[in-house]
Structure 1
């Protein structure tokens, strides 16, 4: 399969674009192509080393070995640019019109980028503090309060190991905007969420990953305009499996998220942060 790139100078005629002319080879052995620009998104397909792919557009995402560009291929999924032989660590195609993977219609940039203290407390309690990179209950390398390592030895983390609880919280605060952005990208403007509801959902997305959240019935029901408290109370407890097994820690976490979600607050967080 020979695929090609669409340059920024592509000519649009009646809503279509001119065909591309250049193909780029995959340089990793088996490279995942995901539903969005980050390692937390679900895998849609894989490319073997040497396969040629087209790049319809590029967008920022999870940094992989210092390169945060993700390439959207003609297959409609995203692959880390680090694994594509474009000849540069910069952009070779036009930027995607959205941050990638948006399904809810998108929101304005006025949503809360982080979460309230109740949300921070919930996440740190259930993630637990890990000073050095080590496998979590299902074998994924994590450090701090649930930071999923993107590189060998978590080299992308700017803080020295062993982390302190202070630097671990700083790392968590720098991670959270990625997950609030996922929520904002996937939700339309029908849900109106207060800061406790927003914090509970962010904890959930932080735990299950953006890709799983995107395709969830929880997000679909919120976008359909159903009562948020009812949706959260019914849907969050379903997310109790890891590695195919029910984990008591996840059961407790989901219960805590429901409790926080249903705690009244007058402070709005989505679609507009107050």
Structure 2
């Protein structure tokens, strides 16, 4: 028993192992997904130290993302760990990483309907208004062939909805983690739709989130800040204007269903 205890303690003291990057110019992002902001780029062959791992955007059948010692996340698909599974602790669990164990609230049907309406469904890959390869209900792909999508393309309507549900979980999580204000389920839905559309990285660094976390009135902040997010390639896009107005209308719809902050 004593030897076993010593072995466990010794394993806990071992520094993060370094693994080589297998792809060319691999992006390391602020969160575990292709919609997070790029923090740095690794050259092929660079050794990165993995501090923890978590679930994120599925890249060629691998949904694990590695948090590196640089404090950013890279798809495990591009890291030669010798395994398609976990090789270290999960982020947020005992042993390192960041994040919590609380599950984010699930978006209500009004939020799902809003996102589906404005994204629209496309079975085949297309280029959206801002120049990004997209498929299904607004799924932003990691490359022009959307090889990160685990469902066959052209997508069926059923698989398109599954992909939408998969994508929404990521944005529900990031909104739950970054917003400390008290918001109801409709206000939460407006925030999830906005971040789904603009990206979690952009949301995290926004004045909107800062104002919410400073304790300002939620609907006042949303009414003033959401209309600023209507540009694509430097131009005002009518579709984004309509979407922001719909998000504001959803946020103002009264409900007793609370969403944030998350209670564990």
- The alignment partner of 1:257 has SS state of helix
Distance 2:125 2:57 in 1: 18
2:191 equivalent among 175, 198, 201: 201
Distance 1:152 1:237 in 2: 30
* Count of matched residue pairs: 253
Q: Does 1:120 align with 2:115?
A: no
Aligned to 2:175: 183
The question of whether the paired residues in 2 share the 8 Å contact of 1:63 and 1:150 is answered with: no
- The alignment partner of 1:154 has SS state of coil
Provide the aligned C-alpha RMSD in A.
2.6
Displacement, 1:180? 0.7
What TM-score do you get using the length of structure 1 for normalisation?
0.82
User: Structure 2 matches for 1:45-84, cutoff 5 A?
Assistant: 45-84=40-79
The question of whether the paired residues in 1 share the 8 Å contact of 2:50 and 2:67 is answered with: yes
1:145 equivalent among 137, 144, 155: 137
- The alignment partner of 1:71 has SS state of strand
The question of whether the paired residues in 1 share the 8 Å contact of 2:23 and 2:43 is answered with: yes
Distance 1:211 1:101 in 2: 16
Spell out, residue by residue over 1:39-59, the C-alpha distance to the aligned partner (whole angstroms, 9 max, x if none): 111000101111111112222
Distance 2:132 2:92 in 1: 32
The question of whether the paired residues in 1 share the 8 Å contact of 2:54 and 2:90 is answered with: yes
Aligned to 1:9: 11
Q: Against the structure 1 CA distance between its residues 32 and 228, is the aligned structure 2 distance closer, same or farther, given a 3 Å change threshold?
A: same
Structure 2: state its 5+ residue gaps. 1-8
Spell out, residue by residue over 1:194-225, the C-alpha distance to the aligned partner (whole angstroms, 9 max, x if none): 22111111110110111111221211221222
Aligned to 2:214: 224
- Greater mean deviation of Cα atoms: 145-154 or 251-260: 145-154
Q: Against the structure 1 CA distance between its residues 33 and 269, is the aligned structure 2 distance closer, same or farther, given a 3 Å change threshold?
A: same
Structure richer in helix, relative to its length: 2
Displacement, 1:264? 1.6
- The alignment partner of 2:42 has SS state of strand
What TM-score do you get using the length of structure 2 for normalisation?
0.85
Aligned to 2:30: 35
Distance 1:101 1:239 in 2: 29
Distance 1:39 1:236 in 2: 23
Q: Against the structure 1 CA distance between its residues 73 and 243, is the aligned structure 2 distance closer, same or farther, given a 3 Å change threshold?
A: same
Structure 1: state its 5+ residue gaps. 1-6, 12-17
